[in-house]
């Protein structure tokens, strides 16, 4: 069974569209994250939720809105997509979000904005 899963795996869309990426973890972890990896493979945290509550919100445009319906799910909705949003988005989870434990990553969603 996949520990952290994301859908879709690939997403190609036009500028200005709104899209969502879904993430689910079956590890029973309390904390989930969204990361953005750019073309140079630089991995930057965007958001972190602990038990459905937002605990990290980096300097991310407010076009990006995470939603956590329960602690096993953390979805990412992006409004008014821009060319610069093209990247690979990774969801991850960890036991308690203290920065002292292993994070488990999903396979990534490759977003291309045309």
Q: Which is nearer to other proteins, 79 or 103 (CB)?
A: 103
- φ, ψ for residue 85, nearest 5 deg: -80, -10
The site string for other proteins over 25-54 (x = CB under 8 A, - otherwise) reads --------x------xxxxxx--x------
Query: Minimum distance from CB of 14 to other proteins (Å)?
Result: 24
Distance of CA 80 to the CA centre of its chain: 17
Size of the site for other proteins (CB under 8 A): 24
What is the rounded end-to-end Cα distance, in angstroms, of the chain? 34
3-state secondary structure of 35: strand
Query: Binding residues for other proteins, per CB under 8 A?
Result: 4, 33, 40-45, 48, 56, 90, 92, 97-108
């Amino acid at each position: 069974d996949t520990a952290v899963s994301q859908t879709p795996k690939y997403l190609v869309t036009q500028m200005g569209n709104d899209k969502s990426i879904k993430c689910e973890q079956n590890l029973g972890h309390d904390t989930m994250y969204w990361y953005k990896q750019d073309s140079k493979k630089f991995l930057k945290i965007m958001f972190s939720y602990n038990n459905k509550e937002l605990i990290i919100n980096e300097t991310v445009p407010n076009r990006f809105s995470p939603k956590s319906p329960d602690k096993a799910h953390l979805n990412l909705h992006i409004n008014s997509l821009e060319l610069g949003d093209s990247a690979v988005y990774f969801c991850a989870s960890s036991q308690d979000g203290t920065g002292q434990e292993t994070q488990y990553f999903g396979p990534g969603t490759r977003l291309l904005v045309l």
